[in-house]
């Protein structure tokens, strides 16, 4: 029998956005190849995560997806849902609120984040500020880039865990980076993004750095951090048409307030109408318009088919809430 390490990962009860929590369970098998049904439910002290009272503190974590853990020997990452003792979803279980999920819906997250050296973005001088933004986006060289080796290591780890990371790039703010994470199906897409965040947080522990997902990590004339979401349905990809895409955008306009409510806290600090954003109080869409709420990519203008980019979600948003709200809106489109 071989001892395998399983890192059970869940979301806590903090708000407005949850935090990642995890602990390791050792199980013994003759062999293990990622089978979900071999993993038992487990429990944790919910009174320490704002998910239970001390006199009745047990919460159940139910495995929902398994990933290889490239950083440990004989190890796996286990994404879980928090459940009540009676088997019903816990009130903090945002994954369980996603309805009628299927892999015909595709989601591509553009996850921006800022690496922090104490209270300063990595690469910022100890006093004052670096040169104004302009030379940092997709740049190269020590003068304009900070943290590349960590970003590359995170990319390799994610790919080894079989996450569909489709790209990385340095962003507009010094010390700010982005990676793109693609998935088919709302739950799987969001699971993958949470796991990619977990791997990033754990990796930066080794370097004594922090990861900041606040949508405005540096106040002033600096870009904020978003989590743009590219999305499509089978009809958008295979049928398309100007009227279909217009109807989808108009549906998103109708539910703009409901989307903003789940698109991340402090998003008003980022969605100002400046720095490639639309104002949080306004909804707009347009072809190749990075100042719009919804950008219609050039491929749609050429072929009438493809996807849309929702540029409103903040970098700290809960992807379960984001894709769940998107699905709810898409279902209203006839």
Q: How far is the C-alpha of 271 from the C-alpha of 311, rounded, in Å?
A: 10
Q: How far is the C-alpha of 26 from the C-alpha of 75, rounded, in Å?
A: 9
Spatial CA neighbour of 291 closest among 271, 315, 308, 306: 271
Spatial CA neighbour of 106 closest among 5, 26, 186, 168: 186
**Is position 295 within any domain?**
yes
Q: How far is the C-alpha of 204 from the C-alpha of 103, rounded, in Å?
A: 32
Q: Taking a C-beta distance cutoff of 8 angstroms, is the pair 181, 193 a contact?
A: yes
**Is position 206 within any domain?**
yes
User: The domain that contains 38 carries what CATH number?
Assistant: 3.10.20.70
List all residues 6 or more positions away from 141 whose beta carbon is below 8 Å from its beta carbon. none
The pLDDT tens digits for 47-72 are: 999 999 978 899 999 999 999 999 99
**Is position 100 within any domain?**
no
User: The domain that contains 312 carries what CATH number?
Assistant: 3.30.590.10
Q: How far is the C-alpha of 299 from the C-alpha of 33, rounded, in Å?
A: 40
Q: How far is the C-alpha of 157 from the C-alpha of 179, rounded, in Å?
A: 13
Q: What is the mean pLDDT of residues 249-265?
A: 98
Q: Both 193 and 155 in a single domain?
A: yes
Structure tokens at 196: 């990619």
Q: Taking a C-beta distance cutoff of 8 angstroms, is the pair 58, 52 a contact?
A: yes
Percent of the chain, pLDDT > 70?
Answer: 100
Give the alpha-carbon dihedral of 205, 210, 214, 215, to 10 degrees. -100
Q: Both 116 and 80 in a single domain?
A: no
Reported as a pLDDT band with limits 50, 70 and 90, residue 162 is very high
Q: Both 80 and 115 in a single domain?
A: no
Picking from 38, 66, 93, the residue at the C-terminal end of a domain is 93
List all residues 6 or more positions away from 28 whose beta carbon is below 8 Å from its beta carbon. 1, 2, 3, 4
In the chain, how many H helices and how many E strands? 7, 14
Quick one: pLDDT at residue 29?
97
What letter would DSSP give residue 214? -
Quick one: pLDDT at residue 100?
86
Burial class (CB in 10 A: 0-12, 13-18, 19+), 236: buried
Q: Both 111 and 80 in a single domain?
A: no
Q: Both 86 and 191 in a single domain?
A: no
Q: What is the mean pLDDT of the chain?
A: 97
Q: What is the mean pLDDT of residues 156-163?
A: 98
Phi/psi for 190 (5° steps) reads: -70, -40
Picking from 93, 123, 144, the residue at the C-terminal end of a domain is 93
Q: How far is the C-alpha of 237 from the C-alpha of 229, rounded, in Å?
A: 16
Phi/psi for 275 (5° steps) reads: 55, 50
| pTM of the predicted structure, to 2 decimals | 0.97
Judged by phi (left if over 0) then psi (alpha if -120 to 50, else beta), residue 34 lies in: left
Q: How far is the C-alpha of 194 from the C-alpha of 18, rounded, in Å?
A: 11
Quick one: pLDDT at residue 54?
75
Quick one: pLDDT at residue 55?
81
Quick one: pLDDT at residue 134?
94
Quick one: pLDDT at residue 56?
85
Q: Both 55 and 169 in a single domain?
A: no
Q: Both 150 and 74 in a single domain?
A: no
Quick one: pLDDT at residue 301?
85
Angle of CA points 200, 201, 206, to nearest 5°: 95
Residues forming beta bridges with residue 53, ordered by sequence position:
56
Q: What is the mean pLDDT of residues 97-124?
A: 96
Q: Both 129 and 26 in a single domain?
A: no
Give the count of domains, the chain. Answer: 2
Q: Both 74 and 114 in a single domain?
A: no
Q: Both 89 and 135 in a single domain?
A: no
Structure tokens at 71: 């950083």
**Is position 26 within any domain?**
yes
Percent of the chain, pLDDT > 90?
Answer: 97
**Is position 101 within any domain?**
no
Q: Both 79 and 173 in a single domain?
A: no
Residue-number span of the structural domain to which 63 is assigned: 2-93
Q: How far is the C-alpha of 184 from the C-alpha of 241, rounded, in Å?
A: 22
Q: How far is the C-alpha of 250 from the C-alpha of 264, rounded, in Å?
A: 22
């Amino acid at each position: 029998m071989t001892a395998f390490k399983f890192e059970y990962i869940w979301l806590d009860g903090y708000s407005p956005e949850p935090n990642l929590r995890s602990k390791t369970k050792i199980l013994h098998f003759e062999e293990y190849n990622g089978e979900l049904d071999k993993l038992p439910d487990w429990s944790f002290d919910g009174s320490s995560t704002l998910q239970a009272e001390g006199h009745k503190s047990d919460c159940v974590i139910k495995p929902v997806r398994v990933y290889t853990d490239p950083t440990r020997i004989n190890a796996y990452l286990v994404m879980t849902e928090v459940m009540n003792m009676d088997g019903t979803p816990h009130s903090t279980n945002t994954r369980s609120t996603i309805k009628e999920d299927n892999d015909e819906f595709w989601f591509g997250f553009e996850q921006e984040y800022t690496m922090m050296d104490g209270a300063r973005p990595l690469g910022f001088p100890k006093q004052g500020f670096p040169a104004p933004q302009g030379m940092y986006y997709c740049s190269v060289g020590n003068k304009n880039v900070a943290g590349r080796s960590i970003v590359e290591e995170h990319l390799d780890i994610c790919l080894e865990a079989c996450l569909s990371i489709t790209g990385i790039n340095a962003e507009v703010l010094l010390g700010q980076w982005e990676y793109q994470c693609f998935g088919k199906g709302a739950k799987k897409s969001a699971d993958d993004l949470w796991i990619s965040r977990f791997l990033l947080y754990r990796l930066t522990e080794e370097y004594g750095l922090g990861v900041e997902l606040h949508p405005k990590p540096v106040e002033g004339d600096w870009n904020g951090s978003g989590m743009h979401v590219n999305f499509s349905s089978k009809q958008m990809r295979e049928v398309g048409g100007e009227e279909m895409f217009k109807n989808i955008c108009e549906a998103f306009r109708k539910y703009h307030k409901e989307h903003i409510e789940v698109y991340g806290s402090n998003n008003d600090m980022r969605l100002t109408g400046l720095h490639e954003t639309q104002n949080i109080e306004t909804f707009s869409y347009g072809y190749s318009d990075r100042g719009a709420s919804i950008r219609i990519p050039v491929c749609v203008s050429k072929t009438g088919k493809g996807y849309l980019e929702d540029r409103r979600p903040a970098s700290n948003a809960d992807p379960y809430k984001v894709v769940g709200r998107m699905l709810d809106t898409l279902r209203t489109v006839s």
